[in-house]
Amino acid sequence: MKFLLAQINPVVGDLEGNAKKILDVASKASSTASDFVLTPELSLWGYPANDLLLKKNLIQKQYQILDQLSLDIKKKYGNLSITVGIAEIINDSFFPNLYNSIVLLEGGDWKIIARKIILPSYEVFDEKRYFRSEKKVSVLIKKIKTKTWRIGFTICEDLWVNKDIEGRGIHKKNPIIDLKKKEVDILVNLSASPYTFKKLELRSKVSSFAAQYLQVPLIYVNQVGANDNLIFDGNSFILDKNGSKIKQLKSFSEDLSSWEITQTKPEESEFENSEMSSIFGALVLGVRDYAKKCGFKTALIGLSGGIDSALVSAIASAALGSNNIYCVSMPSRWSSSHSKSDAIDLASRLKINFSTIPIENLMNSFKESFTKSIDFEMAEITNQNIQSRIRGTLLMALANQEKHLLLSTGNKSELAVGYCTLYGDMNGGLSVIGDLYKTNVFKLCNWLDSEDSINHRKSYMLDTNANIIGENIRTKAPSAELGPDQLDTDSLPPYSTLDNILKGIIEEKKDLKQLEDDGHEKELILKIISLIKKAEFKRKQAPPILKLSSQSLGSDWRVPIAISF
């Protein structure tokens, strides 16, 4: 039996376009003499479809598309079998009235062969809003040539049932244990599993456990591509019955790969991904797909000469091509000469479009208008915010006029404690590094300028002969330059300290005593907790944040604004 693993990038809600993509995959399967094509979870819809699943007309439309797709595959490619992920309607009076299901298309018809059992409702996931849980495991009995196969099917979370590995506790159902009784010959998992730090390692461990427990090969097919704030890394793979990897598909890229079930010798991959290269690849894909799927061809960035905007410019260049990136420097009276020159030098290294708009005259106009009209003397913080909002207004005007996607350059440390200006530097259609702490921004930039990134820079058409970010930007003290000789440490503790405390509070959910036990001062902890709370209203108005961690400050951060604790 020969499988074709179809690691595809569907567009959410584009039922016709996704069906055409699946039909194109069938062509590849035919040319490689494959018997069975596997596509990811909800491949007809794209994941997550969210409230599009509540639209009855789209639910009905998917069935018409499935009918036509089945006929087209039969007509063009004969008896080829293809799995497709759909939202199956349940015809009763209860809600939710859908299953997250897999259908098998073959012989000009289609049938349901699997339904999802474990519905995640943590982090960004909210599947119980849309789906009901299936009660029993799914086994497809399939005759290929002269042999009859028993193929066990699981859908994404159905595989994540080892509490010692994935850490979320014991599920009421354990599909892997139930499949043991069914004596399957092979296990298939069809997923839409988004990228987060360490996810690849965890995914491999839970899959290896399942393969060893069942003593059968395991095929894992994952969606790739970015949808809004979620980034799907692909990285589909095949394990042997001992849980060892014998095939690995590409990271952050569509990939089609065939596999004969008798093939047990491990294949070599091009080059190994490090943690830093995976983060960079995820962010590049996040920007590329957000722009493409939202109809943007160009991006705009406010380039300050600092490390955050430098990194975002590099990511955007890799995602969209340097000729499609437009950067603007907006110096004020407090902008240092090295920041101005660093911005110019970075733009030159990246070969991006660059222009300068001085804003000192605009700041003077604001000050004069306030003074003359209402006898209002701007305080220091007000003056700083006005400066940031002038820049934000200019960038939005340029983005509107030229149809650029404005990329916000704030990092997670700043967003967490509110060291950012609403309607100023927070402006934008997408927050690129909003789930990356400042210390990790430095780490990623150091990697990007190292020899370790050469192969990756080459693949993204970035210069391999010079530092991308540059030593000046990587080594200077962080500053928003909102006042004379101002540094970030005037308002915040060093980022190494701040980020440790923030990670403890945000990702690890530690309380005051636990943070004190980690060696942090109580007064500083309470100050940071207060800053996080006060900045909540800002984060609610921030652009979508590309998710990298188990707890971003985006759609999976559900803290009320008006609280007391």
Q: Is residue 492 part of a domain?
A: no
Asked if 426 contacts 542 with a C-beta cutoff of 8 angstroms, the reply is: yes
Q: What is the mean pLDDT of residues 391-413?
A: 97
- Tell whether the torsion through CA atoms of 448, 449, 453 and 456 is positive or negative: positive
CATH number at residue 304: 3.40.50.620
List pLDDT tens digits, range 445-500: 999 999 999 999 999 999 998 899 999 999 998 887 777 777 888 889 999 999 99
List pLDDT tens digits, range 493-517: 999 999 999 999 999 999 999 999 9
Lowest mean pLDDT among 130-134, 261-265, 412-416: 261-265
Q: Which of 117, 120, 116, 141 is nearest to 129 (CA)?
A: 120
Q: Which two tokens stand for residue 378?
A: 């701007």
Lowest mean pLDDT among 60-69, 165-174, 554-563: 165-174
Cα(44)–Cα(290) distance, integer angstroms: 19
3-class DSSP state of 284: helix
Cα(157)–Cα(523) distance, integer angstroms: 41
- 171 plus 285 within the same structural domain: no
List pLDDT tens digits, range 342-368: 999 999 999 999 999 999 999 889 888
Residue finishing a domain among 262, 287, 308: 262
Asked if 211 contacts 179 with a C-beta cutoff of 8 angstroms, the reply is: no
Cα(477)–Cα(336) distance, integer angstroms: 12
Buried b (16+ CB within 10 A) or exposed e, 169-180: eeeebbbbebbb
Catalytic residue list: 41, 116, 156
Asked if 85 contacts 108 with a C-beta cutoff of 8 angstroms, the reply is: no
- State yes or no: pLDDT of 169 exceeds 70: no
Provide the number of structural domains found in the chain: 2
Residue finishing a domain among 205, 234, 262: 262
Q: Which of 212, 148, 146, 134 is nearest to 180 (CA)?
A: 212
Average pLDDT, the chain: 93
Asked if 248 contacts 34 with a C-beta cutoff of 8 angstroms, the reply is: no
Cα(114)–Cα(179) distance, integer angstroms: 13
Cα(394)–Cα(239) distance, integer angstroms: 53
Domain extent at residue 145: 2-262
Q: Is residue 387 part of a domain?
A: yes
Torsion of CA 493, 497, 501, 503, to 10 degrees: 120
Q: Is residue 556 part of a domain?
A: no
- 248 plus 347 within the same structural domain: no
Q: What is the mean pLDDT of residues 420-436?
A: 96
Around Cβ 201, how many Cβ atoms within 10 Å? 10
Q: Which two tokens stand for residue 212?
A: 């060893």
Share of the chain above pLDDT 90, in %: 82
Q: Which of 44, 37, 177, 164 is nearest to 118 (CA)?
A: 177
Asked if 353 contacts 326 with a C-beta cutoff of 8 angstroms, the reply is: yes
- 38 plus 159 within the same structural domain: yes
- State yes or no: pLDDT of 221 exceeds 90: yes
Q: Is residue 271 part of a domain?
A: no
Residue 305: DSSP 8-state: S
- State yes or no: pLDDT of 190 exceeds 80: yes
Asked if 394 contacts 330 with a C-beta cutoff of 8 angstroms, the reply is: yes
- 301 plus 443 within the same structural domain: yes
- 397 plus 449 within the same structural domain: yes
Please tell me the predicted confidence (pLDDT) of residue 490: 80
H-only helix segments in 134-198: 163-166, 175-180
Q: Is residue 272 part of a domain?
A: no
- 363 plus 244 within the same structural domain: no
Around Cβ 388, how many Cβ atoms within 10 Å? 22
Residue 194: DSSP 8-state: B
Please tell me the predicted confidence (pLDDT) of residue 264: 86
Q: Is residue 391 part of a domain?
A: yes
Please tell me the predicted confidence (pLDDT) of residue 271: 53
CATH number at residue 187: 3.60.110.10
- For the chain, the C-alpha Rg in angstroms (whole number) is 26
Residue 463 phi/psi, 5-degree rounding, is: -60, 130
HEC profile for 324-366? HEEEEECCCCCCCHHHHHHHHHHHHHHCCEEEECCCHHHHHHH
Cα(35)–Cα(168) distance, integer angstroms: 37
- 235 plus 359 within the same structural domain: no
Residue 127: DSSP 8-state: G
Helix H or strand E encompassing 231: strand 230-233
- 254 plus 285 within the same structural domain: no
Around Cβ 411, how many Cβ atoms within 10 Å? 28
* pTM for this entry: 0.94
- 97 plus 198 within the same structural domain: yes
- State yes or no: pLDDT of 27 exceeds 70: yes
- 300 plus 172 within the same structural domain: no
Cα(373)–Cα(367) distance, integer angstroms: 10
Q: What is the mean pLDDT of residues 67-91?
A: 95
Q: Is residue 499 part of a domain?
A: no
Please tell me the predicted confidence (pLDDT) of residue 165: 73
Q: Which two tokens stand for residue 225?
A: 């591509």
Q: What is the mean pLDDT of residues 333-342?
A: 84
Our measurement of the distance from residue 525's CA atom to the centroid of its chain's CA atoms, rounded to an integer in Å, reads: 30
Please tell me the predicted confidence (pLDDT) of residue 270: 63
- Scan for tokens 């039909």, then name that residue: 23
Q: Is residue 502 part of a domain?
A: no
- 239 plus 304 within the same structural domain: no
- State yes or no: pLDDT of 565 exceeds 70: no
- Scan for tokens 């244990």, then name that residue: 177
Please tell me the predicted confidence (pLDDT) of residue 168: 67
Query: At CA 412, angle to CA 410 and CA 416, rounded to 5?
Result: 105
Please tell me the predicted confidence (pLDDT) of residue 371: 84
- 94 plus 39 within the same structural domain: yes
Residue finishing a domain among 230, 262, 294: 262
Q: Which two tokens stand for residue 305?
A: 């000469």
